[in-house]
Amino acid sequence: MSTASAAHLATAEHHYEDLPFWRKYIFSTDHKVIGIQYAVTGLLFLFFGFCLMMLIRWQLAYPGQPLPLIGNLFNESAMVGGIMLPEFYNQLGAMHGTIMVFMGVVPLAVGGFGNFVLPLQVGAADMAFPKLNMVSYWLYFVGGVIMFASFFAPAGAAQSGWTSYPPLANIASVGQTLWLLGMAFLINSSLLGSINFIVTTAQLRAKGLSFYKLPFFVWAQFITAFLLLLAFPPLMAAAVLQLMDRLAATSFFMPSGLVVNGVVSQLSGGGNPILWQHLFWFLAHPEVYVLILPAMGIVAEVIACNTRKPLYGYKAMVDSVIAIAFLSFVVWAHHMYLTGMGTKMSSFFQITTMIISIPSVIILTSLALSLWGGSIRFNTPMLFAVAFLPMFGIGGLTGLPLGLASADIHLHDTYYVIGHFHYVVAPGTIFALFAGVYHWFPKATGRRMSEALGKIHFWLSFIFINGVFMPMFIQGLAGVSRRLYDPTQYAHALPTQPLNVVMSWSAWLLGLSQIFFIINFFKSIFWGQKVDQNPWGATTLEWTAPSPPPHGNFTKPPVVSRGPYEYSVPGRKLDYVLQSEPAEAPVAGAGKVK
């Protein structure tokens, strides 16, 4: 560390300190501030999306009954006398999916954790393009505002499902146009973000930090960035085409002779609604891995740190992530077995779908085996991380029948599918995100979150979230379709209707359980127990920076000579060796990644 660069850093830090408030905390270019902005906005949207779902659950449990307490607050186009209208129910469903995926989970997992942690873990002072990073957040913000505002558009928000299938989406009200505009903002936001992540990882790693010494979290984010970079543009293309259909009266997705409300469409026709499905799922299947890979990254960090031993099969996990990224581009049509695309096409996509489950299983198995023989610290982040394993396991395994065309014919668009992907994303990814919040909160604020409140939050969430999603498998196997406004209208749905009541009460109680998290979060910002730079005794580079790290992150540029998870190295006084610790004397296990 030369004194010149120290002076440099000090000047930059000083210069930053002089910036006005709005440049430092609102239009900030510092990756940590942007990460926190992303995370807080993402958490707010998660909560908003959850509220939409709690309204849906009322209609499903007690169809046709007035919503108590808050039912009268909605206007006539949403609820009449507290009874939800079908159009509003459709809006809730479409926007719940859109908000949770595109404005809640991805911004929190990639924008929030990626922005905050990745530059720290690679030992960089900031992202490669700080200004683009700022633009990325604000594009996301504007996209979110458009989505939120679309509820107040004439005839309400988008109501054609989160997948926006035409021709329904083409003839829907103006809310759908706003949905497409909002998506355009989100797509460009994630484009800028992903370029930043790739360049930062490729160019700005600390001296000595070779690719196979990167923490697994960085690998997960790095590969996720490629998925965002390459999978989102086809959705942009699809959005452009649907906007043309809606605004310029083209017929990209409109077949000839379509009859709408008993009237033959006057459009030129000649389009194909299946084209939208291809373009949409070409994005949306890689998107599934965008949802899950950062979560796996977080879980890997938390598990390695709290088992106090190296990850089992680090290299196999990294190679699996790369394999998943490639394969995720050739599985999209397994969402489309029922479109009549033919058995040859179905066979191809069945095979690729079965193949992609292998690397996913390798990662999950490695994480589970990492627990073996560890002296585990069951703190709050670890509880969430350990719970991730069986929850994601259930989500993954229930996906296998859906990947096989013959089984999918029965299960397609039933509640079984809803149960499957919610197990992946809700008790899977969102639990991992909670683990991440509890794990990196001390780094972001310099204070620890309360363990007692955290554990209450975990156990209540764990019980109720299973209460929400487990019965969906039974319902789905009984043949109950998703998106039903009133399930009691269908004879085959009646036997499982009591389950809807159980699921709804679980959902509302799950919502109440989050109060413990909210209280904990705000209480700990101000009154949490103060911590030093490495409260968990972890090995990766972010824990060598002060908590919270200053602008420029490290007091001196880190140099790395060790693997990411050197825990419990024999012959050491401490049970962890920081990555930045010089590799002097020959120490058993040093330099090895496994």
Partner 1 sequence: MEALIPYIAKPHPVTGVTNSKLGIWCFLASEVMLFGALFSSYIFLRTGSVDWPHGSQLLNVPLATLNTMILITSSVTMVMSWASLAMKSIPKYRLFMALTILLGLAFLVVKSFEYAHKFEHHIFPSTNTFYAIYFTLTGLHGLHVLIGVLVNLYFLFPGSALWKTNPDQLTGRVENSGLYWHFVDLVWIFLFPVLYLL
Residues making contact with partner 1 (CB under 8 A)? 8-9, 11-12, 29, 124-126, 128-130, 191, 194-196, 198-199, 202-204, 229-234, 236-238, 240-241, 244, 248-252, 267-272, 275, 278-279, 282, 552
Q: Are 166 and 277 in contact (CB under 8 A)?
A: no
Give the shortest CB-277-to-partner 1 separation in angstroms. Answer: 11
Residue nearer to partner 1 on the CB measure, 156 or 273: 273
Q: Measured between alpha carbons, how far is 277 from 406 in angstroms, rounded to an integer?
A: 20
Element at 79 (helix H, strand E): strand 79-80
Question: Which is closer to partner 1, CB of 130 or CB of 374?
Answer: 130
How many other CB atoms sit within 10 Å of the CB of residue 51? 14
Distance (Å, whole) CA 542 – CA 565 = 13
Which one, 151 or 348, has the nearer CB to partner 1? 348
Q: How far apart are CA 388 and CA 393, in angstroms?
A: 8
- Comparing CB distances to partner 1, the nearer of 124 and 367 is 124
Among residues 12 and 181, whose Cβ is nearest to partner 1?
12
Q: Which of 421, 416, 518 is nearest to 473 (CA)?
A: 416
* Alpha-carbon distances, residue 215 vs 121, 180, 501, 511, 532 (angstroms): 7, 36, 44, 33, 21
CA-based R_g, the chain, Å: 24
Least distance (Å) from partner 1 to the CB of residue 270? Answer: 4
To the nearest whole angstrom, how small is the minimum distance from the Cβ of residue 7 to partner 1?
Answer: 10
To partner 1, the closest distance from the beta carbon of 328 in angstroms equals 14
Residue holding tokens 């699921």?
Answer: 503
Q: Which is nearer to partner 1, 108 or 128 (CB)?
A: 128
CB of 283 to partner 1, least distance (A): 9
- Minimum distance between the CB of residue 36 and partner 1, rounded to whole angstroms? 19
Instruction: Indicate the residue among 219 and 554 with the shorter CB distance to partner 1.
Output: 554
State in angstroms the smallest separation of the CB of 124 from partner 1: 8
User: Closest distance between partner 1 and the C-beta of residue 166, in Å?
Assistant: 13
Which residue, chain included where needed, has tokens 């975990």? 458
Q: Which residues contact 186 (CB under 8 A, 6 or more apart)?
A: 102, 103, 139, 140, 143, 144
Minimum CB separation from partner 1 for residue 210, in Å? 10
CA distance 84 to 81: 8
Q: Which residues contact 368 (CB under 8 A, 6 or more apart)?
A: 389
Minimum distance from residue 272 beta carbon to partner 1 (Å): 5
User: Contact, 190 vs 105, CB < 8 A?
Assistant: no
Closest to partner 1 by CB, 511 vs 550, is 550
Paired tokens of 53: 């779902």
246 or 334: CB nearest partner 1: 246
Name which of 412, 260, 289 is nearest 340 in CA terms: 412
3-state SS of the chain: helix, strand, coil percent to 5?
A: 70, 5, 30
Among residues 255, 240, 124, 223, the alpha carbon closest in space to that of 183 is found at: 240
Could you tell me if 385 and 302 are in contact, meaning their C-beta atoms sit under 8 angstroms apart? yes
Q: Which is nearer to partner 1, 199 or 509 (CB)?
A: 199
Is 278 or 308 the residue whose CB approaches partner 1 more closely? 278
**Smallest separation, CB 182 to partner 1 (Å):** 18
Closest Cα partner for 487 from 57, 164, 87, 50?
57
Rounded (5°) CA angle 42-133-445? 55
Q: 8 or 530: whose CB is closer to partner 1?
A: 8
Q: How far is the CB of 445 from partner 1 (least distance, A)?
A: 23
Q: Are 395 and 469 in contact (CB under 8 A)?
A: no
Rank residues 152 and 212 by Cβ distance to partner 1 and give the closer one: 212
Q: How far is the CB of 360 from partner 1 (least distance, A)?
A: 24
First to last CA, the chain: 30
Question: Which residue in this structure is represented by tokens 């394969």?
Answer: 327
Nearer to partner 1, 130 or 548 (CB): 130
- Smallest gap from residue 111 Cβ to partner 1 (A): 17
Helix axes 431-445, 451-477, angle to 10 degrees: 160
For 260, residues 6+ apart whose C-beta sits below 8 A from its C-beta are: 167, 171
- Work out the number of other CB atoms within 10 angstroms of the CB of residue 14: 10
Residue linked to tokens 């095979």:
351
